[in-house]
Structure 1
């Protein structure tokens, strides 16, 4: 999804990547996470830690030269999970690019799926993706990924996906992403959560330090986006979408 940005070489400083690469090598000695980096401008992997070899039994030569190995990491994913991942990534792309440009790099995408290990068995892993570096215009350039063996090795053919807002800690369930036409702003989400707690507009305005007029505008936008008539229906819609718990 990041590749849609049409990055320019004039906006990228590869000395930044050399610094980051040194840091990642040092970090891989301190923890067991399998770390990798994708260069969106070059549209290829730029780095993978040796932990892929130690933890999952990946080919050490291919990991050391991952930038020339194409889709080697993807080749270890269970074929049934691969299709689900592609579908989820399309939905994520629709979600991310419906947001204002200044908010598009604020999210971490977290997946749970199966990969083939050194014993040729499939194990469930947790994989996280987020922006590591941006170009001079603010577009995502280097994407940092990490992979760990999942604590819960449940017997399931379902790929799990969670989208985490790194600015405020909120998470979005896949049910929200299945309908990319409904996207609530951060303020609208805050107000919906306060409505769920039973606060009146005056109390919401006080808590968020905004005018009651602004609260009314956000409430009307909420009702319109969710296609509902009142606060009770808005809460139910929020629960169904997974933005309320």
Structure 2
């Protein structure tokens, strides 16, 4: 990874512009081998803090009432990995992290497998984190698991760990969601897709029901953040 950074000097600057940080995690020792970007800006804690303290340091900075949710998402992830195509595996999940001054921020963690052993077990994980506090609020967490062939999306209660698997959106619904994200009205979408406005509005309501969300702004923010659209 050091060589990658040396050969690509824009990496650190790109991460800073995106207000994101990248880390390499050794799953055998549960240590952060290296961090890139500015984790201090994202989480309030420095790269040295994470490298010295490992994953246990990360866990210690979660609000206590979020433990159940994080543990449930970890369990769902561990159940998924053995049957997944690890080469294309990605996991997205969010959590709150307490900063040194006592405030908390909502963080999105995107993971992919960096190296595997001969049996297919993940040895090193690449993790990208970003602050999504301005996009997602409330006491629920989400987990998206994908290997390029399937998508699993879960909604998790942070305090109880209770979860529900969400119904996936259809191709037509995703198409409409992308257009909504471009701020095109239902009437405009109907004209573009040769549908009735009533049909478009029905799809919009079905999307909210499937994702268990209250309004389209929340839905589009979620779908974009989790790279579903």
The two structures share one fold, judged by TM-score above 0.5: yes
Question: 1:92-150 CA distances to partner (integer Å, 9 max, x unpaired)?
Answer: 211222x16xx244321111221123542112111111112234665422101111111
2:25 maps to which of 38, 43, 53 = 38
| Contact kept in structure 2, 1:40 and 1:140, CA below 8 Å | yes
More strand by share: 2
Q: Which residue of 2 aligns with 1:231?
A: none
CA-atom RMSD in angstroms: 3.5
Q: 1:85-124 maps to which residues of 2 (within 5 A)?
A: 85-97=70-82, 99=83, 103-124=85-106
2:34 maps to which of 47, 69, 83 = 47
CA–CA distance in structure 2, aligned partners of residues 24 and 69 of structure 1: 28
CA–CA distance in structure 2, aligned partners of residues 141 and 25 of structure 1: 26
Q: Which residue of 2 aligns with 1:164?
A: 146
> Residue 173 of structure 1: CA displacement?
1.4
Say which SS state the counterpart of residue 32 (structure 2) adopts: strand
1:133 maps to which of 105, 115, 120 = 115
CA–CA distance in structure 2, aligned partners of residues 147 and 123 of structure 1: 12
CA–CA distance in structure 1, aligned partners of residues 6 and 29 of structure 2: 20
| Contact kept in structure 1, 2:90 and 2:146, CA below 8 Å | yes
1:174 maps to which of 154, 157, 162 = 154
> Residue 76 of structure 1: CA displacement?
1.7
Unaligned runs of 5+ in 1: 1-16, 181-192, 195-238, 241-245
Tell me the TM-score normalised to structure 2 length. 0.56
Quick one: structure 1 residues 91 and 35, their matched pair in 2 at CA, closer, same or farther if it must change by over 3 Å? same
Q: Which has the larger radius of gyration?
A: 1
What count of residue pairs does the alignment treat as equivalent? Answer: 161
Question: 1:5-38 CA distances to partner (integer Å, 9 max, x unpaired)?
Answer: xxxxxxxxxxxx5545657986223223121111
CA–CA distance in structure 2, aligned partners of residues 25 and 136 of structure 1: 33
| Contact kept in structure 2, 1:25 and 1:49, CA below 8 Å | no
1:69 aligns with 2:69: no
Unaligned runs of 5+ in 2: 156-162, 172-208, 211-229
Say which SS state the counterpart of residue 145 (structure 2) adopts: strand
Question: 1:68-113 CA distances to partner (integer Å, 9 max, x unpaired)?
Answer: 313212222222222211112112211222x16xx24432111122
CA–CA distance in structure 1, aligned partners of residues 34 and 106 of structure 2: 22
1:84 aligns with 2:66: no
1:27 aligns with 2:11: yes
